[in-house]
Chain A
Amino acid sequence: MVNGIAKKIDNCLYEIPGDYKKGMRVPARIYASEELLNSMDNAVFEQLTNVAMLPGIQSYALCMPDGHSGYGFPIGGVAAIDIEDGVISPGGIGFDINCGVRFFITSLNFQELSPKLNQIMDMLFSRIPSGVGGKGIVSLNDRQFDEAMVKGCRWAVEHGYGIKEDLIFCEENGCIANAKPEAVSGKARERGKEQVGSLGSGNHYLEFQIIRDNDILNKDIANRFGIIGNNQIACMIHCGSRGFGHQIATDYLDQFISVMKQKYHIDIPDRELACAPFHSKEGQAYFHAMNCAINIAFLNRQLIFHIVRDVLCQVFRKSPEELGIKLIYDVCHNTAKIEQYEINGKNKKLLVHRKGATRAFTKGMQGIPELYREIGQPVLVGGSMQSASYILVGGHMAKESFYSTVHGSGRVMSRQQAKKRFKGRDLANQMEKSGIIVRTRSFSGLAEEAGAAYKDIDDVIDAITQAGLSIPVARMIPIGSIKG
Chain B
Amino acid sequence: MSGNSKEYFEFVEDITLADIAVHCRAKTVEKIFTLNAEALLHVCLEDPSKLDKVTKYHILLQHNYLDLLLVKFLNELIFIKDTKGLLLYPETIHIVYSKDVIVCEVDCIGDYITNGYDINVDPKAITMHKVKCEKINNDEWESFIVIDV
Where the two chains meet, the residues of A that have a C-beta atom closer than 8 Å to any C-beta of B are 41, 43, 68-72, 75, 91, 94-96, 131-134, 187, 190-191, 194-195, 200-202, 243, 246-247, 249-250, 253-254, 257-258, 270-272, 274, 411-417, 441-445, 448, 484
Query: Which chain B residues border A75 with CB–CB below 8 Å?
Result: 18
B122 touches A131 (CB 8 A): yes
| A-B CB contacts (within 8 Å), total count | 135
B16 touches A201 (CB 8 A): no
Query: Which chain A residues border B129 with CB–CB below 8 Å?
Result: 70-72, 91, 270-272
B127 touches A71 (CB 8 A): yes
Select which of B14, B78, B126, B149 is within 8 A of A415 by beta carbon: B149
B17 touches A132 (CB 8 A): no
Stretch from B30-38, B88-96, B113-121 contacting the other chain: B113-121
CA distance A237 to B15 in the complex (A): 29
B122 touches A272 (CB 8 A): no
B19 touches A71 (CB 8 A): yes
7 new A-B contacts at CB < 8 Å, known A246-B78, A250-B126: A70-B129, A71-B16, A131-B122, A132-B121, A272-B129, A416-B20, A444-B120
CB distance from A250 to the nearest CB of B (A): 5
Query: Which chain B residues border A441 with CB–CB below 8 Å?
Result: 119
Contact mask for chain B residues 133-149; partner A; CB cutoff 8 A; 1 contact, 0 none? 00000000000001011
Query: Which chain A residues border B68 with CB–CB below 8 Å?
Result: 254, 257
A71 touches B148 (CB 8 A): yes
Select which of B20, B118, B127 is within 8 A of A272 by beta carbon: B127
For chain B, the count of residues having a C-beta within 8 Å of the partner chain is 39
CA distance A405 to B77 in the complex (A): 35
B122 touches A132 (CB 8 A): yes
Query: Which chain B residues border A417 with CB–CB below 8 Å?
Result: 13
CA distance A84 to B112 in the complex (A): 48
CA distance A416 to B124 in the complex (A): 17
Q: Which 5 A-B pairs have the closest CB atoms?
A: A71-B129, A201-B122, A271-B128, A71-B127, A272-B129
A246 touches B119 (CB 8 A): no
Select which of B46, B64, B72, B149 is within 8 A of A202 by beta carbon: B149
User: Quick one: given A191-B79, A415-B149, are A484 and B19 in contact (CB under 8 Å)?
Assistant: no
28 pairs, CB–CB < 8 Å, chain A vs chain B: A41-B17, A43-B15, A68-B18, A69-B18, A75-B18, A94-B148, A95-B124, A95-B127, A95-B148, A132-B120, A132-B122, A133-B85, A133-B122, A191-B83, A200-B122, A202-B121, A202-B124, A250-B75, A254-B68, A257-B128, A270-B130, A272-B129, A272-B130, A411-B18, A412-B17, A414-B14, A416-B20, A443-B46
Query: Which chain A residues border B85 with CB–CB below 8 Å?
Result: 133
